[in-house]
Amino acid sequence: MDTRLAASFHVPPASLQAIPYAMLVALVPAYEAAFVPAVRRLTGVATGITPLQRIGVGLFAVTFSMVAAALVEARRLHAAADGDGHLLSIFWIAPQFLVFGLSEMFTAVGLIEFFYKQSLAGMQAFLTSMTYCSYSFGFYLSSVLVSLVNRVTSTSAAGDGGWLANNDLNKDRLDLFYWLLAGLSILNFFNYLFWARWYSKSVETVQVAGVVRGGGEQDDEKDTSEC
């Protein structure tokens, strides 16, 4: 891709990783100052939406990051196949980082908020560290996924060594890999919905049981005093 920002300056591709974090710096204050008060009036929740809802929004939004990546890569492949020497600007891949930054604002912050509000006293720091351990586990799984995709796609007639086997963007099918990630993101979102609903129902059951038990104890005390 064309990395030129000016005649004598080229954007280092790795620096685009800063986009989602710049989004976090800009959006988190805006989220707390504008979004939370506006939604609070509709939901009655002090934080606008619950931590579980916030995580769900982030997991759903990250799907669009993968869709944007797949569409841009397909366009880049088409431009490369034309052979006219025209290169897409590297800023075409900025939208996927912007969406990823938006999803990170909901998911990562929602996770920390959930752990601090729902965990037992003294467990908050431990569970927060588990959040970052899950990131490292995800990086490991991404390597496994690449190897698995190459193995599966290389067995097909059109696999031609696998989608990512050539280490050449113009020969590999990175666009198909991004579509696969988009599909996995959707599956992950529905998996999250299942467990979030299970957790919410479990909490409601415990709370109702606590109220009933508490009421029963009060009735017993009342009966004893009357005797």
Q: Is residue 214 part of a domain?
A: no
pLDDT(88) > 90: no
Helices 94-118 & 51-82 angle (0-180, nearest 10): 160
pLDDT digits (tens, 9 = 90+) for 27-83: 888 888 888 899 898 888 888 898 899 999 999 999 999 999 999 999 988 888 877
pLDDT digits (tens, 9 = 90+) for 185-226: 999 999 999 999 998 888 767 666 654 444 444 444 444 333
Q: Give a yes or no: residue 139 inside a domain.
A: yes
Q: What radius of gyration, in Å, describes the C-alpha atoms of the chain?
A: 24
Residue 38: count of CB within 10 angstroms of its CB = 10
Residue 208 belongs to some domain of the structure: no
Does 97 have pLDDT greater than 80?
A: yes
Number of domains forming the structure of the chain? 1
221 domain-assigned: no
In a domain, 212, yes or no: no
Beta-carbon contacts of 116 under 8 Å, excluding residues fewer than 6 positions away, are 124, 128
pTM: 0.80
**Span 136-156, mean pLDDT?**
85
**Domain around 14:** 4-189
Q: Is residue 36 part of a domain?
A: yes
Query: Residue 203 domain-assigned?
Result: no
The tokens for 83 are 């052979």
3-state secondary structure of 87: coil
Q: What is the mean pLDDT of residues 168-187?
A: 92
According to the model, what pLDDT value does residue 190 have?
96
Q: Does a structural domain hold residue 39?
A: yes
Q: For residues 145 and 139, give the distance between their C-alpha atoms in angstroms, rounded to a whole number.
A: 10
